[in-house]
Amino acid sequence: LGPDMKFKGVFHPVILCPARILEMNVVYYTEYGITFGAACSLDLVKNTLTKAVSELSKEKIEVFCALLRQLKSLGGQQIRNVASLGGNIMSANPTSDLNPILAAANCTLNLASAEAGTREIALNEDFFVGFGKTAAKPDEVLVSVHIPYSSKWEYMFAFRQAQRRENAFSIVNSGMRVLFHEETAAIEDLRIFYGGMGPTTVSVKKTCKELIGRPWNEEMLSEACRLLLDELPLPGSAPGGMVEYRRALTLSFFFKFYLSVLHRLKEMNITGQDMPLGYFTAIEDFQNETPQSLQIYQEVTQGQPSWDPVGRPIIHQSAIKQATGEAVYCDDIPSLDGELFMALVTSSRPHAKIVSIDVADALNLPGVVDVITASGVLANKITVFPLEGEHLLAEAEVTCIGQIVCAVVADTRVHAKRAAGAMKIAYEDLEPTVFTIEASIQQNSLYKIDMKLAKGNVDEAFEIVDQILEDEIHIGGQEHFYLETNSVLVIPKGEDGEMDVFIATQFPSFTQELVAMTLGVPSNRITCHVKRLGGAFGGKISKAAIIASIAATAAEKYRTGRSVRCVLERGEDMLITGGRHPFLGKYKVGFMNDGRILAVDVSFYCNAGSALDESALVIEKSVLQFDNAYSIPNIRAQGYACKTNLPSNTAFRGFGFPQGSLVTENWITDVAAKVGFSSEKVREINMYKGVERTHYKQEFDAHSLWRCWNECLEKSAYHNRKIAIEEFNKQHRWKKRGIAVVPIKYGIGFPSSFLNQAAALVHIYKDGSVLVTHGGVEMGQGIHTKMMQVTSRELRIPMSYIHISETSTNTVPNASPSAASYGTDANGLAVKNACEILLQRLDPVINDNPKGTWKDWIKKAYFQRISLSATGYSRGLDTKMDWEKQEGQPYGYFTFGACCSVVEIDCLTGDHKSIRTDIVMDVGCSINPAVDIGQIEGSFTQGLGLYTIEELKYSPKGMLYSRGPAQYKIPTVNDVPAQFNVSLLAGSCNPKAIYSSKGIGEPCVFLGCTVFYAIKDAIAAARRDSGLTGPFPLDSPATPERIRMACVDQFTKLVPVDEPGTYGPWAIHI
Ligand SMILES: Cc1cc2nc3c(=O)[nH]c(=O)nc-3n(C[C@H](O)[C@H](O)[C@H](O)COP(=O)(O)OP(=O)(O)OC[C@H]3O[C@@H](n4cnc5c(N)ncnc54)[C@H](O)[C@@H]3O)c2cc1C
């Protein structure tokens, strides 16, 4: 009930909690099985069954084992603690993991009603009558559930496959039970139920009936597959999509059932079909393990004083507070007297004229104060970096579902949301609507940006190469999924147009500028404050400022002192704020049979959405950096931003690099498959060597790149592991392993040099305590911790003397966004500069009393009228890119690294398990190895999510389906490689950044692609067993659906494919 009440606004006047009704909470053993009260939690059911399994004879526990197999991954522990057995059954969810087993096992339900008394009914195919509906009468309550023991010659198995192994509803699941005639392999009874194949749990009664009496052998298996496909038709437009995959899963599960039962029959010495040795692991599930990790970094040099924290693994200064909940985030700020809440009203149409906005009903609701529409905003159109021509609120037209049309302001959150739901907006649909990259290319719906780079002569090179390969890869987008959604609190100060804006943003000065422009006041009246962010990843730049400006407009109207708060719900945040750009990479590659790649012609198309936002810069990065670590003599690269009727995509950690370079690794992998070399050999042949120039003529030395690469090969024992994997793959038909090693060269800094500047303000108080402020925003990446380390070293005082309170626009003006992996480089130099100035002023005092303490010196300095406050400044890197001349130095320097991952896939279900990852990164001389390794591990895991799990689903009308954690899956701890090792390259230095360190915030997102390519390697092994060799397509993310369908075999070949265009699909790939 909870999720429906929270997310769908379902209202129940009365809710009964059966926690204290005895009959509904008991557990008792009978002669025939165990009866559970319907209110028993799933955890209690799990514990009871676990105990029963350990105590009862083997033949009695088949049903219990099947239930336990599902219960271990059903929801998570928190869900199992509160979800009840009765609730799971009565919800009649078609993907319930328990109902198919309970039904296949012939469980019985005890129902009771005040009028009709009690009755016992079978939980069978007649019980589930429709989506969320059962045959129980409206006044009946489920009192208890009887789960029978199994008998000799009866076997039961359960299967499930979800987008993610834990805490995700099944895509398809099944409960399968067979009873044999005694001492034979002849089927006496068969009951099979599937979930996820229709609006209810479904029985395949006809199939079962046809198979009764038949021996358990391959002919029966073939016949079963034919019958199952017949009995479980799924139209191309079926809700939930993934139609062919779901159909393939029904066969895969039956095949696993077949093998599992065969195995049992063998154990019982019943002769029948032999199970080939390599088939055995097909029936084993992947086990979740607690990941083990190794973190290797350099100790500081021996001579470094003990008080100097630079280079030491200092704990993130608010880590403990974040873990305990003491850390204060924007929405934790207590509400002020008279505070108002603002709820946003968004477009429900992808492209339409706004005919009217009727506010009457909303205004009449309790607590509602006002509705802000475009006409109530002074400057509704934004043209200030990084936005160009975007509207705060839609004016005459909407161009995507999720565009902000107006905002309702009310006295409470609940009132504001209720009123937002009561807003009546009339639309007139407009043509065209464009959602996909392909459609926008076809209709030439592109933003006018010109990003082209060329090197050498591609056409001539194509003439002389041995082979040419042309292909494309689609890379899905990604939701930022920061834990803290976009939030703002605007407090008007009551005079001179002054306002305080407390906001979760990476770019406070942009919010300040935008709010000031919107209100028509100078920037000096608006102060933005940022304490910390609960994650940002690029998603709290442009949209955060837009929401703040709308809230400021509302607050300005009530300047008598009513503050306005706006905190997006998860679903709203996902719908409105966009994410990582989906990409299509089309490429033509010319190469020699010895593996040398001589020419690449590549086009990148990103789905920018309905506004340009930062898309031009994202495309710029993909065109500039797609070379990754490879020196290709002839290059032609071009990038396009597709204009579509979807929410505008925006900055996201890596900013076009993770997409552009995935395309590169794809053509490397394809070339390797064509020339018959391993991918790592083709990588080595084509990697930059020594001092080289990129395709935009920036010079760099690839020495560290090769050191990382070689160390990674060595630390991962790559070559031995590869041989072991080949051996494993020879011995296993339905589980395959794969390995991939990928290098990285990642440019740090902003190509527009003005963004590389930074400033800081350092105050020393009379008691010796130091308050540091700088332009960087703490968003979990540890910048404040590093800035305190810098201050400590420069002022030669312990870190305990130093505090950073917040980032604010009245202490450091015009700060750049915390982005581009450049925060520490820029702000570190500014803080250092401020400290140097202070120390210079303090020098005479110190020299006067060299044995004195810091506190003595500060007191003395104060009385000597020495200023104890200083601003520091750093101009930053001199970067530039001349697109006319096709050359420049857009990056200050490069961060290098290499990563090797090993995975195992289940060819029958598409599930995968990350076995091991080894990363070696050159971060120069790390200022804080603990924080840097945290960034490496975190960004790698985010990349792993991007390339293998996270999938945005859009309806054919451009509506985002995946608007919460139930539909959108990010990696959990079980998705982290079971062995995860990170090493920082020793002895590397970088004269271009503070203390010789390097930026590391973004690069390792891309290294998640090693898991993608290891999966591809494993799929290639599976395909070889089916007689398929050479390159094959695999789009990102490599979801269970894509993995399964790429592992072509006798089962996938049986699944009919609906002709595209003959049906309306449930979802589209944008
Ligand atoms: C995040 C999340 C993940 C989940 N993952 C999974 C999963 O992977 N697999 C899976 O199978 N399930 C999953 N579930 C569902 C979960 O297992 C329960 O089915 C769900 O929570 C409902 O159980 P409840 O006890 O909360 O029932 P409630 O929400 O209290 O009730 C659900 C419905 O059943 C009715 N009902 C409840 N008890 C009775 C009764 N005794 N007699 C008559 N009617 C009754 C209620 O009126 C209501 O209509 C998940 C749930 C969540 C929230």
Interval 510-535 mean pLDDT: 96
Instruction: Give the chain's mean pLDDT.
Output: 95
Buried b (16+ CB within 10 A) or exposed e, 247-260: bbbbbbbbbbbbbb
The pTM score is 0.96
Q: Is 86 known to sit in a ligand binding site?
A: yes
Residue nearest to atom 50 of ligand 1 (CA): 75
CA distance 931 to 319: 11
Nearest CA to ligand 1 atom 32: 87
Q: CA geometry: angle at 803 spanning 799 and 805, to 5°?
A: 155
pLDDT of residue 344: 97
User: pLDDT, tens digit, for every residue of 604-650?
Assistant: 999 999 999 999 999 999 999 999 999 999 999 999 999 999 999 99
Residue 142 CA: which ligand 1 atom is closest? 42
User: What tens digit of pLDDT does each residue of 980-1024 get?
Assistant: 999 999 999 899 999 999 999 999 999 999 999 999 999 999 999
Residue 626 CA to residue 375 CA, distance in Å, equals 44
Query: Which pLDDT band holds residue 108 (cuts at 50, 70, 90)?
Result: very high
Mean pLDDT of 778-784: 96
Is residue 1036 within 8 Å of residue 946, measured between CB atoms? yes
Residues 6+ apart with CB under 8 A from 324: none
On the question of a common fold for 2-275 and 330-431+480-577, the answer reads no
Highest CATH level, class, for 330-431+480-577 = alpha beta
What's the 177 CA to ligand 1 centre distance in angstroms? 24
Report the pLDDT averaged over residues 793-814.
97
- CATH 3.30.365.10 fits domain 753-878: yes
Taking residues 160-166, report their average pLDDT: 93
Residue 277 or 316, more confident: 316
End-to-end CA distance of the chain: 32
789 is in an annotated binding site: no
Q: Is 278 exposed, middle or buried (0-12, 13-18, 19+ CB in 10 A)?
A: middle
Q: Is 506 annotated as a binding-site member?
A: yes
861-917 pLDDT, tens digit each: 999 999 999 999 999 999 999 999 999 999 999 999 999 999 999 999 999 999 999
Give the pLDDT confidence of 692-746 residue by residue, as tens digits: 999 999 999 999 999 999 999 999 999 999 999 999 999 999 999 999 999 999 9
pLDDT at 20 over 90: no
CA distance 588 to 581: 22
C-alpha 453 – ligand 1 centre gap (Å): 56
Q: Distances from the Cα of 458 to the Cαs of 454, 468, 599, 620, in angstroms?
A: 8, 12, 6, 20
**Token representation of residue 229:** 């496909």
Is 1023 annotated as contributing to ligand binding?
no
For residues 576 and 613, the answer to whether their CB atoms sit within 8 Å is no
Q: What is the pLDDT of residues 357-368, one digit of tens each?
A: 999 999 999 999
Average pLDDT over residues 64-91: 94
Identity of the residue numbered 871: T
Provide the pLDDT for residue 268. Answer: 87
CA–CA separation, 222 vs 930, rounded Å? 56
Give the span between the Cα atoms of 652 and 181, in whole angstroms.
Answer: 61
**Residue among 99, 87, 84 nearest 42 (CA):** 84
pLDDT higher than threshold 70 for residue 559 = no
Tell me if 1068 sits within 8 A of 959, measured CB to CB: no
The per-residue pLDDT for 327 is 97
Residues with CB under 6 Å of ligand 1 are 1, 3, 38, 42, 74-75, 79, 83-84, 86-88, 90-91, 96-98, 141-142, 169
Residue 376: other Cβ atoms inside 10 A: 17
pLDDT at residue 561, as a whole number: 66
pLDDT band at 513 (very low <50, low <70, confident <90, very high): very high
Q: Which atom of ligand 1 is nearest to the CA of 90?
A: 34
pLDDT digits (tens, 9 = 90+) for 416-429: 999 999 999 999 99
Structure tokens of 370? 């006002």
Q: Which 8-state DSSP code applies to residue 505?
A: -
Q: Per-residue b/e over 588-605, b at no fewer than 16 CB within 10 Å?
A: bbbbeeebbbbbbbbbbb
Mutational test site, ligand 1, from 6, 22, 84, 171, max ligand atoms within 8 Å of CB: 84
DSSP state, 811? Answer: T
Q: How confident is the model at residue 278 (pLDDT cuts 50, 70, 90)?
A: confident
Mean pLDDT of 155-166: 95
What mean pLDDT do residues 22-42 have?
96
Question: Per residue in 568-591, pLDDT tens?
Answer: 999 999 999 999 999 999 999 999
* Banded model confidence at residue 166, pLDDT cuts 50, 70, 90: confident
> Does the structure show a pLDDT above 60 at 560?
no
The architecture that CATH gives domain 583-750+886-1050 is: 2-Layer Sandwich (3.30)
Q: Are strands 770-774 and 802-803 parallel, antiparallel or unpaired?
A: parallel
The answer to whether residue 699 is catalytic is: no
Overall average pLDDT of the 411-439 stretch:
96
> What is the per-residue pLDDT for 272?
67
As assigned by CATH, the class of the 2-275 domain is: alpha beta
User: What are the boundaries of each domain within the chain?
Assistant: 2-275, 330-431+480-577, 583-750+886-1050, 753-878
pLDDT higher than threshold 90 for residue 65: yes
Please give the pLDDT value at position 528. Answer: 98
2-16, 200-214, 981-995, range with the lowest pLDDT = 2-16
**1032 near 1023, Cβ under 8 Å?**
yes
Cα 192 to ligand 1 centroid, rounded to whole Å: 23
- Judged against a pLDDT cut of 90, whether residue 518 lies above it is answered with yes
Distance 252 CA to ligand 1 centre (A): 28
537 is in an annotated binding site: yes
Closest ligand 1 atom to residue 140 Cα is 43
289-299 CB burial, b ≥16 within 10 A, e <16: eebeeebebee
Q: Rounded to an integer, what distance in angstroms lies between the CA atom of residue 746 and that of residue 280? A: 44
948 contacts: CB under 8 Å, gap ≥ 6: 912, 975, 1008, 1011, 1012, 1015, 1037, 1038, 1039
